[in-house]
Amino acid sequence: MSDVTKLARKGILDLKPYSPGKSIEEVQREFGLKELTKLASNENSTGPSPQAIRAIESELGNIFRYPDPPCTLLRRAIAKRLGVTEEMVTLANGCDNIIFMIGAAFINEGDEVIMAEPTFAVYEGVTRIMGGRPIPVTLKNHTHDLEGMAQRIGPRTKLFFLCNPNNPTGTLVPKEELNRFLAHLPGHIIVILDEAYFDYVSEQDYPDGISLLRGDLNLIALRTFSKIYGLAGLRVGFAVADGDLIGVMDRVRDPFPVNRVAQAAALAALRDEKHRREVLRVNEEGKAFLYGEFERLNIDYVPTQANFIFVDFKKDSLEIYNALLKEGMIIRPGTIWDYPTSARITIGTMDENRGFIEKLEGILRRT
């Protein structure tokens, strides 16, 4: 066989593959553990709506049929919920896939894409795959430095990725600051406002991306069913934007972007407001508990507007991470973002949160 590296698309071999958090199954195999708690991937520990489970069960008999390509019923329900037209919504196999659609639709070779550092790693990966040039701008006080990002705008700037609240820090850009930034943006730039954690935000000064959509602004807002709705394993994400932008994105959409079971589950989850409120209650309760415990243990943390907390152990987070793994607890070490003493902790159920603190406290005493 010939050297396949010579056949690869230019730039692909320079990519650093996305590294997801360890799965429960992976840790079980590695350490032979039966009981595990995963607080690494910002999943909804409460789980999905019972209505979504019933919808999944009802749809199983139809999986021999292809799914509805445009996700008509779900798209219509989302548009109605958000007060937009159906032409302003497109769905895909998770927000990761939506981001790839954006890259394929808009990034030409040599285009510059501005993003925070650290932030969601898929932005950089997609940019490089499409031959674009990522322009990272270091966070200021753990949040987006919009002034610094604006200073990096050049003639080749094509996209801005703004994760709000930001992953991994949980911080947000306030409404007034974002509006000021958008008002001075050149007309040839597209802003992608990734609002995966939108539903967890309690801050009143949060700029809802849907309310910012207007004819003179190239803005795409991203939302997901993976977080508040607890459907991460089914992969349902969507974008909302002006119909012309959506029309371009739909040209590169997969033929069947969301499977039948996922469509049915997402539609049911969207209707279950009672479950959504319960998820928020559990998250707020867990957040308050973890804040108090981190303060008691003298662990610095960044106040969050999401379902995770970015902490600083002030010591090697990989050492703590590995020690927790052996005790059946999975977190996300900050080394992947070049924060060697930090970690990102998903807010779990109260039992999971208490178990995490108990194990962490024992490890901190020993290290």
CA distances from 160 to 80, 134, 238, 359 (A): 28, 10, 18, 40
- Output the pLDDT for position 32: 66
More confident residue, 8 or 110: 110
Strand 157-163 with 112-117, pairing: parallel
- Output the pLDDT for position 121: 95
Distance CA 259, CA 67 (A): 5
Check: CB of residue 232 under 8 Å from CB of residue 196.
Answer: no
Domain ranges of the chain: 4-47+274-366, 50-272
pLDDT digit string, tens, across residues 22-49? 676 776 666 666 678 999 999 999 999 9
- Confidence band, pLDDT 50/70/90 cuts, at residue 366: confident
Q: Choose among 48, 50, 26, 47: nearest CA to 36.
A: 26
Strand 37-38 with 329-330, pairing: parallel
Distance CA 101, CA 59 (A): 27
Q: Which tokens is 98 given?
A: 């939506």
Mean pLDDT of 148-164: 97
- Confidence band, pLDDT 50/70/90 cuts, at residue 128: very high
pLDDT digit string, tens, across residues 64-101? 999 999 999 999 999 999 999 999 999 999 999 999 99
Strand 237-241 with 89-92, pairing: antiparallel
DSSP calls for 97-141: HHHHHHHHHHPPTT-EEEEEESS-THHHHHHHHTT-EEEEEE-BT
pLDDT digit string, tens, across residues 299-340? 999 999 999 999 999 999 999 999 999 999 999 999 999 999
Amino acid at 44: N
- Confidence band, pLDDT 50/70/90 cuts, at residue 20: low
Q: Which tokens is 288 given?
A: 């308050």
The predicted model scores a pTM of 0.93
- Confidence band, pLDDT 50/70/90 cuts, at residue 357: very high
Mean pLDDT of 176-196: 95
pLDDT digit string, tens, across residues 234-284? 999 999 999 999 999 999 999 999 999 999 999 999 999 999 999 999 999
- Output the pLDDT for position 2: 65
CATH code, residues 4-47+274-366:
3.90.1150.10
Percent of the chain with pLDDT over 70: 95
Asked whether the predicted pLDDT for residue 19 surpasses 70, the reply is no
pLDDT digit string, tens, across residues 207-227? 999 999 977 889 999 999 999
More confident residue, 12 or 17: 12
- Output the pLDDT for position 17: 64
Domain 50-272 = CATH 3.40.50.1970: no
Mean pLDDT of 114-139: 97
Sign of the alpha-carbon torsion through 322, 326, 329, 330: positive
Residues 6 or more apart whose CB falls under 8 angstroms from that of 227 comprise 42, 43, 44, 196, 197, 199, 200, 307
Burial degree of 138 (CB within 10 A; 0-12, 13-18, 19+): exposed
Residues 6 or more apart whose CB falls under 8 angstroms from that of 15 comprise 125, 128, 129
Name residue, tokens 């790693």. Answer: 121
Q: Which tokens is 278 given?
A: 């319960």
